[in-house]
Amino acid sequence: MPLDLDPDESLGEIPRASASRAPSQPRVRRRARKRNGPPEFQFLTATDPSQFKDEHAKRSVRSQAMIQYRYRAEQQRQKGQEVPEASSGGSVKPQRTRRITASTTNEPPPWQSRPNRLIERMMNVGEGEDPLFPPMTSTFPVINVDEGFGEPAETTVNEAPLPLVHSARYRRILSMPSLTANKQKITEYEETDEHETIVTRILCGKLGSLQNLGDGVDPFSVIPQFENPELDSLFLVRTCNRAFVSTATTIKWMPILLANPKALLSSTALASTYNDMRTGCQGDSKRTMLVKSEIIGYINDFLRDTELQFSDMTLLLILHLLAGEMWNCNEKILRIHESGITRLIRQRGGIKSLGGNGAIAEVAAACCYHIDIFCEATPNTIFEDWNPPSFAPVEDIVAIPESPIFSPRSEFYTIAHSGNCSETTYELLCDMRDLTDLFLSHHAGFEKKIDIPLTEDELRKSPSEEYDSKVAAISARLSALPSAYTPNTPVSNDWIYESCRIAAIIYTTAIMCRISFSDASGPGRSPLIPAAASQKHPAGQGDLQYRRLSDALFQAVEKSNMTDVWGGMSGVLYWVAMIGAAAARIPSTTDLSQQQFGDNIYAMWVRRCFIMFATRTMIVLIFGHPVPILVAQRKLLRVQELTGRGHHG
């Protein structure tokens, strides 16, 4: 096994089999049957975009549209409503609109709303790939965890949301000096053409200065090239800059990459898998396999060199390969590479012996913690026994990646001033922070001290009774929260709120029931789904009994604007995405030796996307805020240790 040898032995070579294509996924033919409920969604697959326009595809779309029309017509007849006639050329002006109105703070990501040159070029790369899923969620039905799978919220044009009364705590925080006014950001990053251009120019400028290029030379010519002519290194480097590189990355990580051309090229493995997600490719594309193959060649060259075998550059190449393997979701391969990393670090004398001014150690620990969380696995002892540097206190106006698992200050000052956080979301996150602290302190053998006067009844309570009452109060508030799909509420169509709410349901269920996130996400496992929903929407609630909460969370997250990884709430996005990645872990998503069919294919897609959402957020933040990310990861690992790690964890 690669990199998993005794300390006295050579590290050996990495077999190229780890870059092999996942088993091809067969198309699923659905038998004609009587439909007792809403029409199910169908997938259109093709090996070339032009195939979506052929007669077979058009016929399938027309057939599905007619099934949907007949179903709605039958539903309206049962309700005694007039059935609108199908239009053959004209249009019928609707009195009510059935749509989800976009939130002003949560616009769709730019790749869903406008074309750009990079994406056009991306779509032309890797012909022959098999995109099983489109990059947009509009193909799939909406999931409301209170109402099951169904239609979007129905809202009249003139309806206005109910007014929101701010709590005293929230008002006090909002009255403080705004972080925006002080030009404080968690990180200088946004997935835009402008940001990509700036970062690429910085990179080319540094490469040009190293090569002493004169005037009139194409700056892009300094980008190193892959050996395989099918790989476009400029495209992959620019994609990496666009999706993963912050200003802090250019300061802390770029100098390390510039030490060797292979280091820069190996960093594009993650960018290639990001393209695979964006183009709807299930598993590794041909391009990604070629990139991994070259990186494995680089690593084996270094491992054969006795002087370089245990160098920082060897470790960096393996870390880049590890990041590129996350999307493929092969836990066996991930554990092999993680084990090899720990062996190499031990050969070096421990984490503190690594170079890069601490950056390599921070990235190595963060990547391994990251994998342990979404694989629901126990961390390796070399990282479990290592403690990151202490977090130095900062002023309230300093922006940091706060979340329920990282809150060093009395309040979420950065989150409150982010512009993305409603009062309801803020109070929900405060409850999740308090629940985390209560749970960890209770199971550490002591209760957290609270600087508030206690009544005689409270003083008489045992620690267990006090803990139970506090958890019950938090769970009751969570259960009473409305869904973002519900019209005419302050949180209607607020997809960041909805993402936090569903993640909180999974998180709280795991803590209350002492089960893993993957078990807590299972159909019918959460006691927090409001009982009133089954009375008000019995059919929808029945559908939910056969669906996972991770699916509902996935659709909510995809509806949010992740262009800047939620800006001042980027720490929250990491918490949400990591819960989703672990919650989506079911047996069919861990055993890649078995062929995937039907719902299992979609389950794998959901988990892979969650892993990519979380990985992107972690990479964007780790270079500017290493300690907050590491502290948050260790706290989440501790929660998982106490609740359970699921199957094979």
Same domain, 587 and 528: yes
3-state secondary structure of 509: helix
Query: Taking a C-beta distance cutoff of 8 angstroms, is the pair 496, 567 a contact?
Result: no
The single-letter DSSP state of residue 349 is: T
The single-letter DSSP state of residue 462 is: -
281: which strand partners?
Answer: 131
Structural domain includes residue 406? no
Same domain, 368 and 418: no
Query: Taking a C-beta distance cutoff of 8 angstroms, is the pair 436, 635 a contact?
Result: yes
Exposure of 416 in the CB half-sphere (CA atoms within 13 A): 24
Which two structure tokens, joined as six digits, stand for 310?
A: 């245990």
Please state, in angstroms and rounded to a whole number, the distance separating the CA atoms of residues 26 and 465.
Answer: 54
Structural domain includes residue 605? yes
Same domain, 355 and 490: no
Same domain, 372 and 417: no
pLDDT at 116: 39
Same domain, 319 and 361: yes
- pLDDT tens, residue by residue, 229-277: 999 999 999 999 999 999 999 999 999 999 999 999 999 999 999 999 9
Same domain, 501 and 594: yes
- pLDDT tens, residue by residue, 109-139: 333 333 333 334 333 444 334 444 444 343 3
Please state, in angstroms and rounded to a whole number, the distance separating the CA atoms of residues 616 and 638.
Answer: 23
Which two structure tokens, joined as six digits, stand for 242?
A: 């666009």
Please state, in angstroms and rounded to a whole number, the distance separating the CA atoms of residues 64 and 56.
Answer: 12
Structural domain includes residue 612? yes
- pLDDT tens, residue by residue, 632-649: 999 999 999 999 875 544
Residue 629 has pLDDT above 70, yes or no: yes
Asked which of 384, 402, 436 is the last residue of a domain, the reply is 384
Structural domain includes residue 303? yes
- What percentage of residues in the chain have a pLDDT greater than 70? 64
Please state, in angstroms and rounded to a whole number, the distance separating the CA atoms of residues 266 and 319.
Answer: 9
Q: What's the domain count of the chain?
A: 2
Please state, in angstroms and rounded to a whole number, the distance separating the CA atoms of residues 328 and 592.
Answer: 9
Task: Give the mean pLDDT of 467-482.
Answer: 93
Q: What are phi and psi of 402, to 5 degrees?
A: -70, 155
Same domain, 368 and 242: yes
Asked which of 384, 405, 428 is the last residue of a domain, the reply is 384
Q: Closest by alpha carbon to 563, among 267, 243, 296, 271?
A: 243
pLDDT at 75: 64
pLDDT at 369: 96
- pLDDT tens, residue by residue, 75-84: 655 655 444 4
Structural domain includes residue 320? yes
Same domain, 358 and 421: no
| Residue 15 CB coordination number (10 Å) | 13
Same domain, 353 and 497: no
Structural domain includes residue 148? no
Please state, in angstroms and rounded to a whole number, the distance separating the CA atoms of residues 143 and 549.
Answer: 9
- pLDDT tens, residue by residue, 228-239: 999 999 999 999
Same domain, 285 and 419: no
Same domain, 303 and 428: no
Structural domain includes residue 626? yes
Please state, in angstroms and rounded to a whole number, the distance separating the CA atoms of residues 588 and 601.
Answer: 9
pLDDT at 243: 95
Query: Taking a C-beta distance cutoff of 8 angstroms, is the pair 367, 373 a contact?
Result: no
Please state, in angstroms and rounded to a whole number, the distance separating the CA atoms of residues 493 and 483.
Answer: 9
Same domain, 224 and 286: yes
Query: Taking a C-beta distance cutoff of 8 angstroms, is the pair 103, 494 a contact?
Result: yes
Residue scoring higher pLDDT (383 or 626):
626
Instruction: Supply the mean pLDDT for the chain.
Output: 77
Domain range enclosing 505: 413-447+470-643
Query: Taking a C-beta distance cutoff of 8 angstroms, is the pair 552, 145 a contact?
Result: yes
Task: Go through 308-345 and write b for each residue having 16 or more CB atoms within 10 A of its CB, e for each that does not.
Answer: eebbbbbbbbbbbbbbbbbbbbbbebbbbbbbbbbbbb
Asked which of 384, 401, 426 is the last residue of a domain, the reply is 384
Helix (H) or strand (E) run with residue 144 in it: strand 142-144
Residue 319 has pLDDT above 60, yes or no: yes
- pLDDT tens, residue by residue, 514-531: 999 999 999 888 988 864
> In which band, very low, low, confident or very high, does the pLDDT at 438 lie, cut at 50, 70 and 90?
very high
pLDDT at 461: 52
Q: 142-144 and 148-150: which strand pairing? A: antiparallel
Structural domain includes residue 207? yes
- Integer Rg of the chain from CA: 25
3-state DSSP of 184-224:
CCCCCCCCCHHHHHHHHHHHHHHHHHHHCCCCCCCHHHHCC
> In which band, very low, low, confident or very high, does the pLDDT at 181 lie, cut at 50, 70 and 90?
low
- pLDDT tens, residue by residue, 463-472: 688 899 999 9
